Structure 1
């Protein structure tokens, strides 16, 4: 198969979808790999390294002309021109928050396979997990930075100092993002509370953190109570493939502390805060009702070296299966088949269909 690796064009997105090592594995499998010149530079990977691995360095149009294109982030409008019916696109798509992209994929007939809805046999999300780990850990670092007065925050040191109370950190969602955010916040000395809908998950977190964080059921009353206390709120809610529920409503901002900070990691799925909107690394925050909002939709792009290698570790085995068998690989792996979001003009992710009122089919109905 001919595989294309385009350069990411999202603002300050420095990740790349394949490392030279992964490219070498694909080439040894018998594939031809076309890498756009400069695609890896943001992650410290040179064209010469890709060439040494056997890749051919090409233009963006040539990379997109491959049989399968592997990316990190969803295509932007300027890339819609490359979508076509004989293309397999393997990347993060997050379609429930991107109606224009959904329509473009359907109209072009592109076979869109989304990292974020691929499942393992144990129902975990292996291609979302590494970036959720990065984003969760970053969320606390980012939040600590924007609590500084010079950044618009309350002027609070997350861990406090002897004789002065630490910050109160509220984490919405006890999944991969929330757990990693809580781990870093606790390590920095903050007081941490995690809210989740699953009692079993709260039991697990209580055990993992040995009672050093507070766990509460995620109810409207508890959220409303805790946002009043919080200096930093981290949104880590995930419904695979679907829009995130709005847990913090506009009216709740009025009871939050002035200069408190919200970091909504769920922004790429629409966000779990009513007032959140996607921002970029070069203009990451804005203020609503005195509360600092951070809504960067590609947070791991700020630490591209770590993020690229973490992501490629997980995506390469799936890419090699797709390269070997094409769409037939989905028939052999029900978990990979769940990654199929669009197929030859048909929507194959029910959660996206619900978000936009579009009829959808299950992947097995079209394969």
Structure 2
């Protein structure tokens, strides 16, 4: 006799575990599968930044809701997410000032907690920040960071407490269709029948989709974060990103900073099952030196760690979230392009709504798979 579930979720990162929790809370029988462990992929290596401002307003609208979800976590979700409020600055070059200020005004009008700062106001908040070439910054007081592993485990434990079956170490081999419709998942230890399958398998989502004749334009790219410690006294500062300077940064415990790259040239395509996971102190120092051109406190900071993982990217850099019209019963929640953690609570809500009603929230329309389907 085959196993059965109302819904099968493939992938136990923050998106998959969020989906499992929201579905179980709604009363569905859920099987959550992962070939490894909870948050063993890109979720577990994420720096966990939660912030709202993007040049793409669709992302900003959704990310603002994500910030509120993590800030108010204990009012809505199980366990803990490790939210730490630091604030966040997004440096804006002079050529983008007008468009950015228009976006800020639009987002403020719909309730987003952010403001425009001129360069003098930026230096008041961060005295050692060089503002050469910048017109100002977008400041978000409620932004910060969380612990993605803790978040995923909290969702998974909450889902399990409501009856979901969490199967770590059970790999999904194939999404099975019959007469066009999804009928379940073949795993490495048998078949599970279900009329609803959520493909939240990160970069592995593409292979599963291709196997059931619904290919997706998802590819994996290597992503590294260097961790450094500042010597001597250090003044608190918000997180910071600067696309033209090619880096982002978030503070951790006093004197410790996570630094990542925003250079597209460093996002090298990889096989997520076999790629170089080394990141030397010399490479960490190169990230530090790039960021130190903006923040003099980082001069002389020493490497103390690194995280090497991957993004599951799409051609336009936006997530894929929505039912796949080529395979009734199949929901795609992958190709998150580095944004997945910020949106995990909202994606879980949207997936549960689709399973229960057959409809997606209107806010998710920009991320529908149809945009890549001929």
Q: Which has the higher strand share?
A: 2
TM-score using structure 1 length = 0.34
Q: Which has the higher helix share?
A: 1
